């Protein structure tokens, strides 16, 4: 049960957040959308960052409110591609902009819980590591660049990717297959940075603080924080990490839902207890049809989708190329299959591109198409033997949709 004091604190936090968004130039409909999506309230336990007022980190970022049209919003952060608008700074990647293993930076989907941000002067960047450590540490961007770097290909997927396929509709933005992409990521392993501060015995969570707004905090279990491939990403596809994707530094947790990969990272707080902020315990959790919390959203499940042909593509009988992508946060992709008869039979597709165990894999199949209507389906199997399921149980917040999808097509003679 929530105490009267806790309820009052929550209302105060909500009002303060609305005031900040209003001051930053957010229109009322955008603020309403952000509040409905659960982005406003993020608190921690008393021993950590208890409220925005107690936040020890100072953000050097310039906050960018969305424009009054999607095109103006994209232009304000330097993106010149016509991405799929989902409100605010939330944009999906059109399928036709995905042609190879990696998605270009300016075509990569954008997901923001509030404003976007940019750093006008890189020399002002600071990353503070505090909390349950031997000593607090402050690092500059040059400090991070001087540390040993790690590079690999990996997909990044919004936890709500595919939410638009749920019926009845789940809460939140109605993403379909547009909130996922693959890129080459380079940066400093998080464990290297934590080692400079000296993590004390008994550490449980590492809370990452975004520089976009004080409530943007997310807790990561210490074992995952110390994983070999958990990065402080500094580059994306060989370029300095673009501002709309969290540059100059974002946390990157390969395979996990995108909320774990905090953008515009300015602080890390090591805790000796589990973080109880809203982005860990009230949002990014799977709530079933009975209203019961099933699990937190962590690693993304095995999934796949056909990119071409699209359902409205004109097709003629004969040789028709089918292509798509398969991915899993639990391991690499071992196999991709295609059905051209509404799922009655399956044929193994050829995996033509596969970057690493964290990357998605492109698959291709040549179909000898006959005239008439049919359904095209794909399914993936990862290297742990996990097979993409026929259905995803409905959940209130619409997370981790990974059911086999059908593309309905009609083949002309």
Residue 291, domain member (yes or no): no
Within a domain: residue 235?
Answer: yes
Q: Is residue 92 part of a domain?
A: yes
Residue 199: alpha-carbon gap to chain centroid: 27
Based on the fold, state whether residues 171 and 315 are members of the same structural domain.
no
User: Mean pLDDT, to the nearest integer, of 60-66?
Assistant: 95
Asked if residue 300 has pLDDT above 60, the reply is yes
Q: What is the pLDDT of residues 327-342, one digit of tens each?
A: 999 999 999 999 999 9
Share of the chain above pLDDT 70, in %: 87
Same domain, 50 and 88: yes
Q: Of 252, 283, 314, which closes a domain?
A: 283
Query: What's the total number of domains in the chain?
Result: 2
What's the pLDDT at 30? 55
Predicted local confidence at residue 129, as pLDDT:
97
Specify the DSSP element, H or E, that contains 219. Answer: strand 217-221
Q: Which of 186, 271, 300, 181 has the alpha carbon at shortest distance from 232? A: 186
Range of the domain at 380: 303-412
Residue 383 Cα distances to 35, 299, 329, 380, 387, angstroms: 39, 15, 11, 10, 10
Whole-angstrom distance, CA of residue 8 vs CA of residue 55: 19
Domain end among 248, 283, 318:
283
343 domain-assigned: yes
The answer to the question of residue 78 being in a domain is yes
Cα distance between residue 253 and residue 367, in whole Å: 37
Residues 209 and 326 in one domain: no
Calculate mean pLDDT across residues 298-318.
Answer: 96
Whether residue 169 contacts residue 195, with contact meaning beta carbons closer than 8 Å, is answered with no
- For the segment 71-86, the average pLDDT, to the nearest whole number, is 95
- pLDDT at position 229 is 96
Query: pLDDT, tens digit, for every residue of 336-373?
Result: 999 999 999 999 999 999 978 999 999 999 999 999 99
Q: Is the pLDDT of residue 22 over 80?
A: no
19 shares a domain with 137: yes
For the chain, give the mean pLDDT. 90
Please write the tens of the pLDDT for every residue from 381-390.
Answer: 999 999 999 9
pLDDT band at 45 (very low <50, low <70, confident <90, very high): very low
152 and 105 belong to one structural domain: yes
Phi, psi (rounded to 5 degrees) for 95? -55, -35
For residue 395, the model assigns a pLDDT of 97
Whether residue 293 lies inside any domain: the answer is no
pLDDT at 189 > cutoff 60: yes
Q: What is the pLDDT of residue 52?
A: 34
Closest CA to 320 of 227, 411, 403, 204: 411
Q: Which residues are 381's β-sheet partners?
A: 335, 387
CATH number of the domain that residue 344 is part of: 2.60.40.650
pLDDT of residue 7: 42
Q: Do 210 and 161 share a domain, yes or no?
A: yes
- Do 219 and 85 have their domain in common? yes
Across residues 100-109, what is the average pLDDT? 97
On whether both 377 and 273 belong to a single domain, the answer is no
Q: Do 271 and 332 sit in the same domain of this protein?
A: no
The total of other beta-carbon atoms located within 10 Å of residue 11's CB is 11
Domain of 199, CATH number, reads: 3.90.420.10
Q: Note whether residue 295 is domain-resident.
A: no
> What confidence score (pLDDT) does residue 39 get?
42
> Which residue is it, tokens 């409530």?
215
Neighbours of 303 (CB within 10 A): 31
In a domain, 298, yes or no: no
Note the pLDDT of residue 333: 97
User: Is the pTM for the entire model greater than 0.85?
Assistant: yes
The per-residue pLDDT for range 212-266, each reduced to its tens digit, is: 999 999 999 999 999 999 999 999 999 999 999 999 999 999 999 999 999 999 9
Residues 6+ apart with CB under 8 A from 351: 326, 333, 335, 336, 361, 362, 363
Confidence of residue 35 (pLDDT cuts 50, 70, 90): low
Confidence class of residue 13 from pLDDT cuts 50, 70 and 90?
Answer: low
Q: Given a cut of 80, is residue 46 above it in pLDDT? A: no
pLDDT of residue 56: 77
Task: Answer yes or no: is pLDDT of 198 > 80.
Answer: yes
Number of other residues whose CB lies within 10 A of the CB of residue 336: 25
Q: What is the DSSP string of 256-292?
A: BBGGGS-SSEEEEEEESS----HHHHTSSEEE-TTS-
pLDDT at 17: 59
Residue 355 has a pLDDT of 78
Whether 222 and 316 share a structural domain? no
Structure tokens at 15: 């009002």
Which residues are 37's β-sheet partners?
A: none
Q: Based on the fold, state whether residues 273 and 343 are members of the same structural domain.
A: no
For residue 208, what pLDDT is reported? 97
Is 333 found in the same domain as 196? no
């Amino acid at each position: 049960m929530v105490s009267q004091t806790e309820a009052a604190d929550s209302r105060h936090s909500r009002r303060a957040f609305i005031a900040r968004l209003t001051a930053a130039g957010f229109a009322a409909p955008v603020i309403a959308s952000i509040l409905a999506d659960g982005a406003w309230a993020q608190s921690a336990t008393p021993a950590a960052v208890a409220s925005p007022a107690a936040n020890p980190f100072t953000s050097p970022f310039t906050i960018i409110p969305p424009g009054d049209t999607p095109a103006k919003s994209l232009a304000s952060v330097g993106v010149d591609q016509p991405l799929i608008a989902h409100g605010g700074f939330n944009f999906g990647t059109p399928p036709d902009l995905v042609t190879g293993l990696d998605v270009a930076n300016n075509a990569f989907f954008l997901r923001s819980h509030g404003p976007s941000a940019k750093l006008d002067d890189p020399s002002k960047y600071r990353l503070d590591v505090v909390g349950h450590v031997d000593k607090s540490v402050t690092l500059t961007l040059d400090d991070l660049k001087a540390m040993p770097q790690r590079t690999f290909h990996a997909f990044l997927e919004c936890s709500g990717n595919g939410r638009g396929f749920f019926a009845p509709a789940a809460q939140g933005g109605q993403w379909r297959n547009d909130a996922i992409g693959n890129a080459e990521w380079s940066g400093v392993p998080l464990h290297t940075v934590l080692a400079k501060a000296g993590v004390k015995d008994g550490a449980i969570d590492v809370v990452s603080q975004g520089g976009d707004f004080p409530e943007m905090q997310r807790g990561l279990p210490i074992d995952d924080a110390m994983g070999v491939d958990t990065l402080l990403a500094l580059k994306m596809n060989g370029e300095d990490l673009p501002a709309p994707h969290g540059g100059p530094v974002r946390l990157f947790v390969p395979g996990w839902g995108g909320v774990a990969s905090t953008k515009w990272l300015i602080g890390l707080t090591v805790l000796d207890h589990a973080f109880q902020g809203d982005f860990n315990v009230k949002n990014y959790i799977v709530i079933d049809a009975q209203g019961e919390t099933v699990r937190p959203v962590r690693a993304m499940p095995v999934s796949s989708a056909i990119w071409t042909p699209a359902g409205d593509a004109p097709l003629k009988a004969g040789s028709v190329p089918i292509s798509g992508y398969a991915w899993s946060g639990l391991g690499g992709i071992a196999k991709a299959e295609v059905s051209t008869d509404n799922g009655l039979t399956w044929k193994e597709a050829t995996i033509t591109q596969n970057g690493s165990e964290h990357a998605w894999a492109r698959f291709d199949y040549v179909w000898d198409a006959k005239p008439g209507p049919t359904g095209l389906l794909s399914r993936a199997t990862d290297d742990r033997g996990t097979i993409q399921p026929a259905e995803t149980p409905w959940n209130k917040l619409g997370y981790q949709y990974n059911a086999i999808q059908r593309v309905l097509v009609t083949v002309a003679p």
